[in-house]
């Protein structure tokens, strides 16, 4: 029998199909178990498509995928499809196995047979879970990436062969080329949307309008805040008489959560009972995160895959960018740039009676005392591992800069979850801070679009923003980057380019075959494939403790400036 090649171009079992009895049974056992303890002979699986499901109760990703597999299994069973799933558990004790398996309607390798489970793990090279291997009726591997196939297409993807999955992908691409509002929003069971009072609105009523698809999850802090802003923009555009509509595509798991969130929204939604359409659209528009706001033009074609960032950046004023053509988006960007450059230290750090920052022991330092200084705003938190790892280096560079220029200061802006954590973390910092829970933290995070921590924003003596990427500059250049201006960075890069002229691009070393040896700041060669965490920004020279190789920084700068 010819072997079936899997997606990674490897064959299993030497290119032969598996005998299910040899695969799943042992000398002592010729059965699998149901979650009620009943035994089912392995011979009963003959002629069926089999999914070997490697999973464990402690795995969060398994917890998210299992309901999808249960749904798909149930649909295929009701359609009379010859499909069975066999659980190969990675649980650490029998109670955990029983608790997890009780929610699964399929079969399992008995928990007591750890040798069989380990053998299957090794045979199918399971390196992470959830993992789903699809076997055909002859025991040949059809698809080693069953999790992705089921997650993307559900029962529609049966029998989950590469040919079937590729056919579905091609059909989606063809649909995108001929996309209309009807092909996007109508499903086999529905040609309408709903309002939050339950009333139905025909999709045909949206023809000729610009439509935004709002992918959201109720209870997500980011989505909840985004909804409030979007609602104001929506009402503003409606009052102006714009031909515009929003349709929520909910990714909620529970109907109660869907209803709670939808009750606050003035627009339309896909009904909760049509979750298949919501998941189809999430895949169709290649959803990368939430909130996402897809813009469809008046002809139903996609104008923008996601303008959520535009709304987040400009807030309620984003309505001025309607209908979000390039010139309108450019106008918003210029307006935001002018607003950022027009800030003063007072406009950033003073809010009503909150006109101070704090030093040690809670001593209040008036913001006015910081005027004329170069300031770094340090967004961080103790619970954040990268923040804790970055702090010692930051303290060192802070002291180096202070030695050069006393007219320099830093302000810690905490995202800690309680006062004690804030105080404990702040105790190791030689600079100033906003008080814990200060309302100014939210506005500063919004102004500078802080998406992750740790983050450093450099503010000049007039209050003008110098750069929002001061952390990267400090990692590359240390205290030499101060005061983080374009002129200073250009000067440093010119110096490094001059130094690098004599460096070899690559060194031959048999110990590091296939890897590149690069020269660090301190003049030591290090292997970029062995001396890091796999991320080009994470390599660390053991001699100078810099997180970035100078050469990597130069390459990245060339990419940013468009140089070859």
Q: What are phi and psi of 499, to 5 degrees?
A: -65, -35
Residues above pLDDT 90, as percent of the chain = 52
Using the CB atoms, write b or e for 411-447: b if 16+ within 10 Å.
bbbbbbeeeebbeebbeebebbbbbbebebbeebbeb
**Reported CATH class of domain 503-561:** alpha beta
Query: For the residues 295-305, what does the mean pLDDT come to?
Result: 91
Q: Residue 554 and residue 481: Cα distance in Å, rounded?
A: 14
Beta 83-89 vs 107-108: how paired, if at all?
A: parallel
Q: Residue 301 and residue 288: Cα distance in Å, rounded?
A: 20
- Write down the pLDDT at residue 171: 86
- Write down the pLDDT at residue 5: 33
Residues above pLDDT 70, as percent of the chain = 85
In the predicted model, what is the mean pLDDT of the chain?
Answer: 83
Domain 345-491, CATH among 2.40.30.210, 2.60.40.420, 3.40.30.10, 1.10.490.10? 3.40.30.10
- Per-residue pLDDT of 41-67, as tens digits, reads 999 998 999 999 999 999 989 998 999
Q: Specify the 3-state DSSP secondary structure of 509.
A: coil
Q: Residue 41 and residue 37: Cα distance in Å, rounded?
A: 13
- Write down the pLDDT at residue 564: 33
Q: Specify the 3-state DSSP secondary structure of 130.
A: coil
Beta-carbon contacts of residue 90 (< 8 Å; ≥ 6 apart): 54, 55, 56, 59, 117, 121, 129
Question: Is the predicted pLDDT of residue 8 greater than 70, yes or no?
Answer: no
CA torsion 261→267→272→274, rounded to 10°? -150
Residue 356 forms beta bridges with which residues? 366
- Per-residue pLDDT of 501-523, as tens digits, reads 665 554 444 434 444 444 444 44
- Per-residue pLDDT of 67-81, as tens digits, reads 999 999 999 999 999
CA torsion 356→358→362→366, rounded to 10°? -40
Q: Residue 285 and residue 368: Cα distance in Å, rounded?
A: 49
Cis amide leading into 454 (omega within 30): yes
Beta-carbon contacts of residue 530 (< 8 Å; ≥ 6 apart): 512, 515
Question: Is the predicted pLDDT of residue 9 greater than 70, yes or no?
Answer: no
Q: Residue 439 and residue 378: Cα distance in Å, rounded?
A: 16
Q: Residue 478 and residue 484: Cα distance in Å, rounded?
A: 10
Residue 329: both structure tokens together:
């988006």
- Per-residue pLDDT of 395-434, as tens digits, reads 999 999 999 998 899 999 999 989 999 999 999 999 999 9
Q: Bigger pLDDT: 463 or 198?
A: 198
Q: Residue 86 and residue 99: Cα distance in Å, rounded?
A: 16
CA 147, 152, 153, 155 torsion-angle sign: positive
Question: Is the predicted pLDDT of residue 325 greater than 80, yes or no?
Answer: no
Q: In what order do the strands lie in the sheet with 192-194?
A: 200-202, 192-194, 268-269, 244-250, 210-216, 292-296, 302-304
What's the pTM? 0.58
- Per-residue pLDDT of 71-124, as tens digits, reads 999 999 999 999 999 999 999 999 999 999 999 999 999 999 999 999 999 999
- Per-residue pLDDT of 126-143, as tens digits, reads 988 999 999 998 889 999
Q: Residue 353 and residue 348: Cα distance in Å, rounded?
A: 13
Mark out the alpha helices in 263-384 (DSSP H runs).
275-284, 308-314, 326-341, 345-349
CATH number corresponding to 179-333:
3.40.30.10
Q: At what angle do helices 146-153 and 162-177 cross, to 10 degrees?
A: 40
Residue 362: both structure tokens together:
């809670």
Residues 7, 143 contacting (CB under 8 angstroms):
yes
Q: With bands split at pLDDT 50, 70 and 90, how would you rate the model's confidence at 288?
A: confident
Report the largest interatomic distance among the alpha carbons of the chain, rounded to a whole angstrom: 82
- Write down the pLDDT at residue 445: 86
Q: What is the 3-state secondary structure (H, E, C) of 331-362?
A: HHHHHHHHHHHCCCHHHHHCECCECEEECHHH
Mark out the alpha helices in 213-299 (DSSP H runs).
221-239, 255-262, 275-284
CA torsion 549→554→556→562, rounded to 10°? -170
Q: Residue 412 and residue 391: Cα distance in Å, rounded?
A: 11
- Write down the pLDDT at residue 4: 32
Going from N- to C-terminal start, the domains of the chain cover 20-166, 179-333, 345-491, 503-561
Q: Specify the 3-state DSSP secondary structure of 317.
A: helix
Residues 375, 465 contacting (CB under 8 angstroms):
no
Residues 18, 140 contacting (CB under 8 angstroms):
yes
Residues 346, 421 contacting (CB under 8 angstroms):
no
Query: For the residues 522-536, what does the mean pLDDT come to?
Result: 41
Question: Is the predicted pLDDT of residue 330 greater than 60, yes or no?
Answer: yes
Residue 54 forms beta bridges with which residues? 88, 131
- Write down the pLDDT at residue 496: 74
Query: For the residues 342-360, what does the mean pLDDT come to?
Result: 85
Q: Taking Cα atoms as reference points, which of 448, 414, 416 lies closest to residue 431?
A: 414
Q: Taking Cα atoms as reference points, which of 187, 185, 188 lies closest to residue 205?
A: 185
Q: Residue 79 and residue 370: Cα distance in Å, rounded?
A: 71
Residue 385: both structure tokens together:
């591992």
Angle value at C-alpha 362, between 361 and 365, nearest 5 degrees = 120
The CA-atom distances, in angstroms, between 238 and each of 242, 266, 320, 393 are 6, 11, 13, 52
For domain 20-166, the CATH architecture is 3-Layer(aba) Sandwich (3.40)
* 503-561 and 345-491 share a CATH fold: no
């Amino acid at each position: 029998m010819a072997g079936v090649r899997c997606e990674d171009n490897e064959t299993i079992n030497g290119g032969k199909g598996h005998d299910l009895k040899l695969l799943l049974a042992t000398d002592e056992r010729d059965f699998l178990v149901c979650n009620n303890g009943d035994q089912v002979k392995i011979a009963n699986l003959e002629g069926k498509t089999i999914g070997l499901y490697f999973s464990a109760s402690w795995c969060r990703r398994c917890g998210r995928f299992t309901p999808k597999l249960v749904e798909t299994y149930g649909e295929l069973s009701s359609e009379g499809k010859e499909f069975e799933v066999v659980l190969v558990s990675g649980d650490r004790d029998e109670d955990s196995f029983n608790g997890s398996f009780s929610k699964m309607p399929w079969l399992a390798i008995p928990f007591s047979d750890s040798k069989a489970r380990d053998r299957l793990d090794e045979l199918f090279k399971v390196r992470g879970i959830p993992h789903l291997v699809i076997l055909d009726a002859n025991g040949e591997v059809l698809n080693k990436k069953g999790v992705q196939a089921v997650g993307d297409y559900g029962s529609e993807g049966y029998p989950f062969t590469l040919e079937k999955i590729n056919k579905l992908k091609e059909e989606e691409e063809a649909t995108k080329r001929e996309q209309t509002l009807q092909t996007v929003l109508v499903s086999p069971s529905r040609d309408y949307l709903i309002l939050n009072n339950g009333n139905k609105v025909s999709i045909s009523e949206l023809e000729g309008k610009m439509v935004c698809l709002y992918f959201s999850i109720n209870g997500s802090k980011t989505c909840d805040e985004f909804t409030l802003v979007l609602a104001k923009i929506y009402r503003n555009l409606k009052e102006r008489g714009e031909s515009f509509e929003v349709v929520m595509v909910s990714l909620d798991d529970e109907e109660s959560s869907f209803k709670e969130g939808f009750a606050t929204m003035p627009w339309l939604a896909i009904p909760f009972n049509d979750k298949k359409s919501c998941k189809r659209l999430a895949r169709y528009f290649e959803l990368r995160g939430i909130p996402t706001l897809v813009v469809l033009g008046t002809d139903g074609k996609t104008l923008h895959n996601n303008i959520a960032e535009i709304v987040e950046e400009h807030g309620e004023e984003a309505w001025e960018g309607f209908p979000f053509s390039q010139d309108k988006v450019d106008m918003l960007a210029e307006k935001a740039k002018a607003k950022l450059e027009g800030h003063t230290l007072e406009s950033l750090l003073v809010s009503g009676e909150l006109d101070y920052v704090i030093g040690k022991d809670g001593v209040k330092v008036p913001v006015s005392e910081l005027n004329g200084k170069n300031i770094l705003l340090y967004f961080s938190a103790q619970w954040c591992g990268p923040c804790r790892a970055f702090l010692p280096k930051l303290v060192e560079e802070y002291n180096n800069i202070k030695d050069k220029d006393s007219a320099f200061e830093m302000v810690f802006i905490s995202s800690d979850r309680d006062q004690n954590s804030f105080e404990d973390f702040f105790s190791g910092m030689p600079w100033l801070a906003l008080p814990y829970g200060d309302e100014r933290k939210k506005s500063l995070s919004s102004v500078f679009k802080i998406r992750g921590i740790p983050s450093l924003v450099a503010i000049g003596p007039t209050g003008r923003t110098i750069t929002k990427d001061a952390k990267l500059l400090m990692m590359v250049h240390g205290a030499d980057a101060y005061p983080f201006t374009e002129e200073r960075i250009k000067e440093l890069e010119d110096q490094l380019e001059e130094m690098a002229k004599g460096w070899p691009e690559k060194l031959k070393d048999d110990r590091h075959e296939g890897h590149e040896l690069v020269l660090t700041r301190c003049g030591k060669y290090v292997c970029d494939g062995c001396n890091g965490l796999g991320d080009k920004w994470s390599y660390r020279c053991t001699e100078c403790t810099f997180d970035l190789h100078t050469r990597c920084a130069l390459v990245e700068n060339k990419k940013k400036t468009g140089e070859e």
